[in-house]
Structure 1
Amino acid sequence: MDIKTRIKITDRFITRVTRYIALAVIFFGCIWGIRTLWTYWRYEQTNDAQVQEYINPVIARVGGYLTEVRYEENEIVAKGDTLLIVDNREYIYAQAETTADIDKQYAQLKELEARQYTLAQTAAAAKSQIQGRESKFKQQELEYNRYHKLYEVDAATAQQLEEKRAQLDIDRSDWKSSVENAQAAQASISDIEAQKRVLEKEISRLKQLQNYKDLTVGYTVITAPYRGRMGKRSIDLGQMITPGQVLTYIVNDETPKWIVANFKETQIRNIRLGDEAEIAVDAYPDTQFKGKVISIAPATGSSFSLLPPDNATGNFVKIVQRIPVRIEITAPSDSEELLKAGMNVNVLISKKQKDAK
């Protein structure tokens, strides 16, 4: 067989193989196209979707130097586990100072109560003297009146009348003195009552301050607010922290994960609460996940941004907006362990559910 014959046979073989490959490509392309069109016709879908879960910061409520760090990155912690300990000596000293102030106020209150008791006894004694001295004064007044009448008829001397007048003045003075002593003692008792009320209010204030100091001491021990997994650790022993500083992040394992799928605004008309969703996770292509629509955002994602777009500026360009749809994961049962926050997923929601409804 000459070279030309072999070349012709080879060309025919290549042409045949190329034809088969082209037919195969066309065949599979048609299948892919039909399947894609079928999917677009039957489902609302988006690949702009991620797994979400609550990731909350652990924030310092007091300042100070860290004396202990009891967690590592990615560690699983239980609710109430100690994560960090802040040097609490200055807070304990402030707590003891407040306690001493309360004890001082109680001591002053006891002193006032003792003075009040003494004044009450004085007032009681003065009141008991008033009646006796008043009776003596009235009797002496009658005696003076009798001598005054006797003196008018020359039955008594002027000296006797003067003696009775002097004794009358002395008895009147004693009686008024007893009244004034009783009134002064009663006024002092009222004054002490007012001082006691001031002290009681001050004690109440100091007790509230002591409660705050107790809380402050408790804040030096930072615990896990719930069961979860710790995030990145960026602090160490001896580091100075300030109130309000974010120390680390914790992923909440007590609440279920969910999917946030950002559908186009033109797709929302086919999505309702309770619709079932098919979820394909990029990390687990062989696992089929199921979900259910539990809420639809009241506004587009851009409306919640830090700087919402203003279309009244004169340079408007129409852009299809995205509306977040929250989807609860219903299957498989072990999905909580498989899925991590931030994973990319594809979500499909059947349009036929609306027809059935």
Structure 2
Amino acid sequence: MNKTANTNTNRTDKIISRVTTVVALIVVVCLAIWGIRTLIHQARFEETNDAQVDEYINPVVAKVTGYVDEIRYEENQDVKKGDTLVIIDNSEYAAAQQEAEAALLNARAQIAVIQSNVRTTGQSAKVYESQIAAAKAKLLNQEQEYDRYKKLYDVESATKQQLDRVQAALDVARSDYKSAQNAYEASLGRIDDAKVQLQALEAEIKRREAVVTRNDLTVSYTIIIAPYDGKMGRRTIQPRQLVQAGQTLAFIVDREAGKWVVANYKETQIRHMKVGEDASITIDAFPGKKYTGTIESLSGATGSKFSILPPDNATGNFVKIAQRIPVRIRLKGSPEELKDLSAGMSAIVAVKKERN
């Protein structure tokens, strides 16, 4: 009985030993295959998991101060270029616009009045010009009359009274002629004055038109629209809230500018990288899906140099640390294929080594 039990135990031990050996061999083979593949991959590709999906996230800023009248978007809503996002109460700005338009109309009406005055004064100048001709003719006649009486008086054929009366008429004729000339010159001066006023008023009209244009812009700024196709971020404002000019109202993700990956490679990994090379990208959120991209640029400095407080190795003890160089990789694919990718998603990027 004991002999049979021992035989069964030995047989079980042999089976366990064989199974263990087979499992161990399988594990060793799998590890060897994995190790060989890893070595081959590392020999052919530069890889990093310090990478993120990125796209432009821009603020939506208020250009005028006022109370929020309407909010026409929700958080994380897809919007199209030109969609209305926020409406700010424009009552004050609309009133200022009406006042500016009325002032412009008044200035234009004054232009018409001055132009009419110029025409009227021009007609008056023609009348004074005719009066000058008449006064000149009268003056010539009186001068001739005076010359005749003077000769008669010299030969005692006319009295002193007659000569004085002709002299007085001559003086009146000269005065009338001078008055006509002065009136004509004055009318010309009024025309010149009116033309100067016209130029000044034309300049004022241009200023008024600029004010109207500016007020038009101000009124238009009370309606805030989406500058491009995108996706809205978090909503931080409420209706009837007072917002200031320059205040950020929301953030919008720019879908038109495309998406890219910023891969932070160690400085020892970039010596074979060039602009235009292809890259293989795996997104942590979608591990079973492969994306491709093209290297657009390599940063001109390490990431630490762009920080607010860049390190200074000349101070304190020095510990050498491999620095990271940001590499920008443009994702390939249509917007529909890339729609699931969001800024900030972690990625693994592999770039094939190019050897000279």
Work out the CA distance in 2 between the residues paired with 1:47 and 1:332. Answer: 24
Other-structure match for 1:73: 75
Q: Deviations over 1:152-210 (max 9, x none)?
A: 22222211211111111100000000000000111011101111111111111111111
Work out the CA distance in 1 between the residues paired with 2:48 and 2:140. Answer: 110
Work out the CA distance in 1 between the residues paired with 2:164 and 2:203. Answer: 58
Other-structure match for 1:124: 126
Q: Deviations over 1:272-291 (max 9, x none)?
A: 12211111111111112222
Work out the CA distance in 2 between the residues paired with 1:109 and 1:176. Answer: 33
For 1:166-181, list aligned pairs within 5 A.
Answer: 166-181=168-183
Relative to structure 1, the CA distance from residue 87 to residue 334 in structure 2 (aligned partners, 3 Å threshold; closer, same or farther) is: closer
Counterpart check, 1:335 vs 2:340: no
Q: 2:284 aligns with which of 282, 291, 297?
A: 282
CA contact (8 A) 1:290 1:332 kept: no
Partner letter of residue 98 of structure 2?
Answer: A
Partner letter of residue 261 of structure 1?
Answer: A
Relative to structure 1, the CA distance from residue 309 to residue 198 in structure 2 (aligned partners, 3 Å threshold; closer, same or farther) is: farther
Q: 1:319 aligns with which of 305, 316, 321?
A: 321
Work out the CA distance in 2 between the residues paired with 1:181 and 1:301. Answer: 84
Compute the RMSD of aligned alpha carbons: 2.6
Partner letter of residue 143 of structure 1?
Answer: E
Partner letter of residue 128 of structure 1?
Answer: S
Other-structure match for 1:60: 62
Work out the CA distance in 1 between the residues paired with 2:233 and 2:332. Answer: 26
Q: Deviations over 1:240-298 (max 9, x none)?
A: 11111111111122232111111122222110122111111111111122222122223
Matched positions, count: 352
Work out the CA distance in 1 between the residues paired with 2:345 and 2:144. Answer: 111
Deviates more, 1:294-303 or 1:265-274: 294-303
Work out the CA distance in 2 between the residues paired with 1:218 and 1:203. Answer: 22
Deviates more, 1:334-343 or 1:60-69: 334-343
Relative to structure 1, the CA distance from residue 138 to residue 266 in structure 2 (aligned partners, 3 Å threshold; closer, same or farther) is: same
- TM-score of the superposed pair, with normalisation by structure 1: 0.89
Q: 2:51 aligns with which of 49, 52, 56?
A: 49
CA contact (8 A) 1:289 1:332 kept: no
CA contact (8 A) 1:295 1:327 kept: yes
Other-structure match for 1:95: 97
Relative to structure 1, the CA distance from residue 237 to residue 341 in structure 2 (aligned partners, 3 Å threshold; closer, same or farther) is: same
Other-structure match for 2:114: 112
Between the two proteins, what is the percent identity of the paired residues? Answer: 48
What SS does the corresponding residue of 1:287 show, helix, strand or coil?
strand
Other-structure match for 1:228: 230
Other-structure match for 1:215: 217
Other-structure match for 1:249: 251
Gaps of 5+ in 1: none
Other-structure match for 2:156: 154
Work out the CA distance in 2 between the residues paired with 1:317 and 1:113. Answer: 85
Q: Could you tell me how far 1:112 is from its partner in structure 2?
A: 1.9
Other-structure match for 2:144: 142
Q: Could you tell me how far 1:11 is from its partner in structure 2?
A: 8.9
Partner letter of residue 195 of structure 1?
Answer: Q
Partner letter of residue 187 of structure 1?
Answer: G
Q: Deviations over 1:123-148 (max 9, x none)?
A: 11111110111121122112212222
Gaps of 5+ in 2: none
What SS does the corresponding residue of 1:323 show, helix, strand or coil?
strand
CA contact (8 A) 1:276 1:291 kept: yes
Q: Deviations over 1:35-66 (max 9, x none)?
A: 33322221111111111112111111111111
What SS does the corresponding residue of 2:339 show, helix, strand or coil?
helix
Partner letter of residue 277 of structure 2?
Answer: D
Deviates more, 1:16-25 or 1:203-212: 16-25
Work out the CA distance in 2 between the residues paired with 1:141 and 1:15. Answer: 156
Other-structure match for 2:208: 206
Partner letter of residue 343 of structure 1?
Answer: M
Work out the CA distance in 2 between the residues paired with 1:118 and 1:287. Answer: 86
What SS does the corresponding residue of 1:255 show, helix, strand or coil?
coil
Partner letter of residue 171 of structure 1?
Answer: A
Q: Could you tell me how far 1:72 is from its partner in structure 2?
A: 0.9
Work out the CA distance in 1 between the residues paired with 2:317 and 2:162. Answer: 121
Partner letter of residue 110 of structure 1?
Answer: A
Deviates more, 1:18-27 or 1:298-307: 18-27
